[in-house]
Chains A and B, each alone.
Chain A
Amino acid sequence: MSSFYGVELKSRLLLGTSRYPSPAVLERAVKASGAQVVTVSLRRESGAGRAGQSFWSLIQSMGVRVLPNTAGCHSVKEAVTTAHMARELFDTPWIKLEVIGEADTLQPDVFGLVEAARILSEDGFEVFPYTTEDLVVAERLVEAGCRVLMPWGAPIGSARGLNNVYGLRSMRAHFPDIPLVVDAGLGVPSHAAAAMELGYDAVLLNTAVAEAGDPVEMARAFALGVEAGRAAYLARPMEPRDMAVPSTPVIGKAALGD
């Protein structure tokens, strides 16, 4: 079982809470996914507003652990301040650290990410960095104190799956003892299964479930995909070959030709 800063999770699916058609659908989707961790965020609220309070009540009623994010932060200062606000608000040292560097792809600013990760780790945070599959950046993040790495599969919300399987496989080989989570870009359960077949410890997704025609059923489908991929990884898949190999033995075949 993989350990995320000392927390062992049975479910290897981490689910986002955004973009669902209604709070009721969100609640049912989380239940159907089996997720034990959901990502949450923080946004401005007015004195008259109550949206944040009712959302928090809903999350608490589900009995899941929360992983707050710094979504939308484009600078180290913004991300660090947001992390502090999140730690107090959600009463957890966990932080999904996002420092966005490019508006179209939402690609992480890996330089700012490493800097923010160092500042937060030294301040007692347990950082889940949203990063790329770049091995050198990953090394820097580990040096900065990260004990989990979360490379993207594809740009956030793109549903493109694993854009760089080679890079993700290299990362798994390079960091055999660091829990790795594919975060972002997954669209269908087979993408999640593919990540798990590479030996990843978990996947984190949101939009693929929230914006499915039936989010609850898609949450269940992703849970099955994750489970299938993990089981396949543990069962040690065969290596691909260039040529065909008959699965049915040729020896003993009846001689029926001319």
Chain B
Amino acid sequence: MRIFLNDDMHEVAPGTLAAALETLGFGGRKIATAVNGRFVAAAARPRTELADGDRIEVVAPMQGG
């Protein structure tokens, strides 16, 4: 199925957010996530099933003022 991660399209096998993140190179990383504009806590990623066309945001710590 197709998902959009930070606006980039990816083809992934149907499954959970945790699985998609692992596939796309985010395993073990310090990140926070949202799906379709809703925050998804790290603990909830393994039970969050993705659907075709879902929009995922992945953010990491960054400099800020």
Q: Do A and B come from one complex?
A: yes
Taking a contact as CB atoms closer than 8 A, the residue among B25, B32, B61, B62 that contacts A47 in the complex is B25
Q: Which of B8, B29, B32 has the most CB of A within 10 A?
A: B32
Inter-chain contact A89/B32, CB cutoff 8 Å:
yes
List chain B residues, Cβ under 8 A from A207. 65
In the complex, what residue of chain B is closest to A39 when comparing beta carbons? B64
Inter-chain contact A206/B65, CB cutoff 8 Å:
yes
In the bound complex, CA of A55 to CA of B29 (Å): 13
List chain B residues, Cβ under 8 A from A71. 64-65
In the bound complex, CA of A48 to CA of B26 (Å): 8
In the bound complex, CA of A18 to CA of B59 (Å): 17
Inter-chain contact B60/A53, CB cutoff 8 Å:
yes
A40-B61, A53-B29, A56-B61 as given contacts; A46 in contact with B34, CB under 8 Å? no
Scan residues 26-65 of chain B and give those whose CB is less than 8 A from a CB of chain A: 26, 29-34, 37-39, 41-42, 57-65
Inter-chain contact B25/A48, CB cutoff 8 Å:
yes
Taking a contact as CB atoms closer than 8 A, the residue among A48, A56, A68 that contacts B30 in the complex is A56
A47-B26, A51-B60, A89-B61 as given contacts; A42 in contact with B6, CB under 8 Å? no
Q: How far is the CB of A146 from chain B (nearest CB, A)?
A: 20
Residue A132 CB within 8 A of the other chain: no
List chain B residues, Cβ under 8 A from A43. 59-60, 62
List chain A residues, Cβ under 8 A from B61. 40-42, 52-53, 55-56, 59, 89-90
Inter-chain contact A45/B64, CB cutoff 8 Å:
no
List chain A residues, Cβ under 8 A from B38. 81
Residue B13 CB within 8 A of the other chain: no
Taking a contact as CB atoms closer than 8 A, the residue among B26, B37, B59 that contacts A42 in the complex is B59
- Count of CB-CB pairs between chains A and B under 8 Å: 106
List chain B residues, Cβ under 8 A from A20. 63
Inter-chain contact A69/B65, CB cutoff 8 Å:
yes
Inter-chain contact A88/B42, CB cutoff 8 Å:
yes
List chain A residues, Cβ under 8 A from B65. 16-19, 39, 41, 69, 71, 156-157, 184, 206-207
In the complex, what residue of chain B is closest to A40 when comparing beta carbons? B64
Q: Please, what's the 1-or-0 string for B15-33, where 1 marks a CB less than 8 Å from any CB in chain A?
A: 0000000001110011111
In the bound complex, CA of A59 to CA of B22 (Å): 26
List chain A residues, Cβ under 8 A from B39. 81, 84-85, 88
Residue A49 CB within 8 A of the other chain: yes
In the bound complex, CA of A181 to CA of B52 (Å): 46
Q: How far is the CB of B13 from chain A (nearest CB, A)?
A: 16
Scan residues 173-206 of chain A and give those whose CB is less than 8 A from a CB of chain B: 184, 206
Inter-chain contact B62/A51, CB cutoff 8 Å:
yes
Scan residues 50-85 of chain A and give those whose CB is less than 8 A from a CB of chain B: 51-53, 55-56, 59, 68-69, 71, 77, 81, 84-85
Inter-chain contact A40/B63, CB cutoff 8 Å:
yes
Q: How far is the CB of A88 from chain B (nearest CB, A)?
A: 5
CB-defined A-B contacts under 8 Å, sample of 5:
A43-B59, A46-B25, A56-B30, A85-B33, A88-B39
